[in-house]
Amino acid sequence: MAHPVPRAVPHVPTMSPRCPHDVPAVSSGLYPSAEAFQADLHSMWFGLYSRSSGKALDSSGFEHVFHGEVKKGSVSGCHNWVQLQALERAGRLEYLGYTWDGPWTAFPDVLSLQFRWDGHSKPRGSLLVGSSPEFDLALFTLCFLARPDRQCHISLGGEAATIQTYTWDKQRLVASAYPLTP
């Protein structure tokens, strides 16, 4: 049975199962139907795996990339500027430094940063600034499908950018996806 992407995930118009001709993965023949694509999308982003040495199924690609995780006292993931902005507004984020390769003439920009989240350190991370979560999800999915466990070279607003993706234990589960900084 196909599982729709949870309503908590912003709607990605080009991934709508209602318009299968608008889903490039379907129209290109990569998937037999929009429902099959939605099921794979759900599995790759929301399939659970263990980041705690097998003790529990405690993580997913979506949680890692878009929310972030605190494991063994350090922050991992958290590659989404909307999440960082929410943490900052709540007084839970302390920036320790950043670099960026902009300003670009078009959004999004790529940002590298260090921060503390509730006192837990993220020594280095990167994210796209100015993009929507829908855009990030679509871009990271494209790169995950096209170049799993490798660098995906793209152009954003006419600027060269690279997205790194990782699978979980060589399975079709997103472990991480984020932009590399120059």
Q: Point out the residues that are catalytic.
A: 64, 79, 122
154: part of which helix (H) or strand (E)?
A: strand 151-156
Contact 164, 174 (CB under 8 A): no
- State the Cα–Cα distance between residues 177 and 119, nearest whole angstrom: 24
Strand partners, 80: 128
Residues 6+ apart with CB under 8 A from 25: 31, 37, 145
Q: How many whole angstroms separate alpha carbon 60 and alpha carbon 31?
A: 23
Round to whole Å and give the CA distance between 119 and 34.
43
* Tokens standing for residue 108: 């999004």
Residue 146: which H helix or E strand, with range?
helix 133-146
Residue pair 165/150 in contact (Cβ under 8 Å)? The answer is yes
